[in-house]
Amino acid sequence: MSQAREHFVPSFQPLEVGTILSVSTGIAIVTGLPGVGFEELIEFPDGLLGIAFNIDVNEIGVVLLGDYSNLQAGDEVIRTGRVMDVGVGDGVLGRVIDPLGRPLDGLGIVHTAQRLPIEREAKAIMDRAPVTVPLQSGIKVIDALVPIGRGQRELILGDRKTGKTSIAIDTIINQRDHNVLCIYCAIGQRASAVAKVVADLRNHGALDYTVVMVSEGNSAPGLTYIAPYAATSIAEHFMEAGRDVLIVYDDLTQHARAYRELSLLLRRPPGREAFPGDVFYIHSRLLERATHLHQDLGGGSLTALPIIETEAQDISAYIPTNLISITDGQVYLSPNLFELGILPAVDVAKSVSRVGGKAQLGTYRSVVGTLKLDYSQFEELETFARFGTRLDETSKKTLNHGLRIRAYLKQAIFSPLTISAQICVLLALTSGVFDLIPIEKIVDAESALCNATSFIPVDMQRRFMTESTLSEDDRALLIQIIQTVLHSFLQVKN
């Protein structure tokens, strides 16, 4: 003990210590840190952290990342010399964590081997590869008409309670056999809503390959603000390791509101709808990090599904138009369709994928054909037919076909379809076989057809994934299987 005392050499490390001038809702004004940098972490009493946001000549505006109820004016603060980072790695899979990486699921410490800054530059253009591989959502209307590719950014928007989160959760559940890791980022959500999502993921075996990051509605606005950036850094770690990753931001409306709250408290100049002038930039720099990496960098991908809430179906509002201009397409959910029981309530006319058919399998694309055009013509003709106008045979045929397309596009929650089942049912629809079945029997006929996919030869199912088009022989065999399965339903009509 005495030898240890004799050989002990104290080390001196200079610390910049400041003082709290005032504390407000989610922010603190600090003075006395002349060397502090933008977005540097500052340590408050009891281990509370904050991010230096406003750096003025005489004071610093700090965004607090946690419970600030015990802070008082006059308390000392210390520079940390680092920026906000988050633990990444396989240890976070299957866990429910907050934006600081702390566990919320009661399963103990989250073990990570590496930490990454939450704010990182997006990949350079030359590091990116085209989006060509589909991300199958298992939802028929999306896979057929608004396809999503790995590395794409597809916005999901709609009014409250129209099924936006349900589409995202269904997509996560469908990745179970597609080797895609998933991250669900709940931003400013109610604890009960998050608990339901976690329970649904666990019940369907999806939690094992999913990270759930949660910022609850009663969390500090600083935590809500950093949540999507921290979740994206976790996703980027897997992407840079060559993995395919899907991230869901639910939802960025709450994120924009949290940033507006912080900006107004820090007395930044307000702009349109009291949002600060850089509200576009906070989302663009986030979503630009989603990409498909070049094969030289591992070929990993990060697919983003940001969710935005609209008010009174106004998709031309400030935040929705910002996100529409940033992303590569949008899936719009209509409350009118929701009220009519057409679920998922995807408005095909207002939904688009800017990657389009390039994000579909060749065989799938050859089966879809003119489905979107046929459905658009049906909706226009249906509106016209409501006036009681007498219709010719061609118009009646269009209406008859359109009703079956609408019935096909309906799908229950937590019931994603495999690629083989979708191709089989789509071919029955586009080839006109479904047109001969009574509309009230379509659901049963579709279910029977999905169950019959086990009769499709394994080598043909393999060709669905690799071939550029559906060959005539494969098409003929599929039509034969379809007619055999649906024969009893045809007899019912007769």
CATH fold label, 86-360: Rossmann fold (3.40.50)
Q: Taking 70 as the threshold, does the pLDDT of residue 360 lie above it?
A: yes
- Check the CA dihedral 366-328-246-342 and report its sign: negative
Q: Taking 90 as the threshold, does the pLDDT of residue 202 lie above it?
A: yes
> If you average pLDDT over every residue of the chain, what do you get?
93
pLDDT (tens digit per residue) in 20-44? 999 999 999 999 999 999 999 999 9
236 vs 490, residue with greater confidence: 236
| Cβ neighbours for 133, distance < 8 A, ≥ 6 positions apart | 149, 150, 151, 292, 301, 359
Q: Taking 80 as the threshold, does the pLDDT of residue 296 lie above it?
A: yes
| Cβ neighbours for 336, distance < 8 A, ≥ 6 positions apart | 345
- CA–CA distance from 432 to each of 428, 436, 485 (Å)? 6, 7, 15
Residue identified by tokens 């006929």 is: 445
User: Structure tokens of 414?
Assistant: 């937590």
DSSP β-bridge partners for residue 215: 187
Q: Taking 90 as the threshold, does the pLDDT of residue 7 lie above it?
A: no
pLDDT (tens digit per residue) in 429-460? 999 999 999 999 999 999 999 999 888 889 99
Residue 354: active-site member: yes
Q: Taking 60 as the threshold, does the pLDDT of residue 8 lie above it?
A: yes
Task: Using pLDDT thresholds of 50, 70 and 90, give the confidence band for residue 493.
Answer: very low
Q: Taking 60 as the threshold, does the pLDDT of residue 491 lie above it?
A: no
283-294 mean pLDDT: 97
Selected catalytic residue, list 120, 243, 285, 354: 354
pLDDT (tens digit per residue) in 84-131? 999 999 999 999 999 999 999 999 999 998 999 999 999 999 999 999
| Cβ neighbours for 119, distance < 8 A, ≥ 6 positions apart | 39, 83, 84, 229, 285
pLDDT (tens digit per residue) in 395-440? 899 999 999 999 999 999 999 999 999 999 999 999 999 999 999 9
Q: How far is CA 62 from the centre of its chain?
A: 30
| Cβ neighbours for 211, distance < 8 A, ≥ 6 positions apart | 92, 93, 94, 95, 97, 181, 182, 183, 184, 231, 234
pLDDT (tens digit per residue) in 248-274? 999 999 999 999 999 999 999 999 999
Dist. CA 127–CA 88, nearest whole Å: 22
pLDDT for res 492: 45
DSSP character for 288? Answer: T
123-144 mean pLDDT: 95
pLDDT (tens digit per residue) in 68-84? 999 999 999 999 999 99
Dist. CA 381–CA 400, nearest whole Å: 11
Dist. CA 63–CA 67, nearest whole Å: 12
DSSP character for 382? Answer: H
Dist. CA 418–CA 51, nearest whole Å: 46
Cβ atoms 166, 413 nearer than 8 A? yes
Range(s) within the chain of domains with CATH label 2.40.30.20 = 13-83
469-478 mean pLDDT: 91
pLDDT for res 1: 60
What is the pTM assigned to this prediction? 0.94
Cβ atoms 96, 214 nearer than 8 A? yes
Task: Using pLDDT thresholds of 50, 70 and 90, give the confidence band for residue 293.
Answer: very high
pLDDT for res 61: 97
Cβ atoms 224, 215 nearer than 8 A? yes
Cβ atoms 244, 180 nearer than 8 A? yes
Task: Using pLDDT thresholds of 50, 70 and 90, give the confidence band for residue 494.
Answer: very low
Write out the H or E segment, with its range, that includes residue 74: none
Q: How far is CA 110 from the centre of its chain?
A: 23
pLDDT for res 166: 97
Percent of the chain beyond pLDDT 70? 98
Range(s) within the chain of domains with CATH label 1.20.150.20 = 365-493
Q: Taking 60 as the threshold, does the pLDDT of residue 241 lie above it?
A: yes
Q: Which CATH number fits domain 365-493: 3.40.50.170, 1.10.1060.10, 1.10.10.1100, 1.20.150.20?
A: 1.20.150.20
Q: Taking 60 as the threshold, does the pLDDT of residue 392 lie above it?
A: yes
DSSP β-bridge partners for residue 85: 117
- Report, at the CATH architecture level, how domain 13-83 is classified: Beta Barrel (2.40)
Range(s) within the chain of domains with CATH label 3.40.50.300 = 86-360
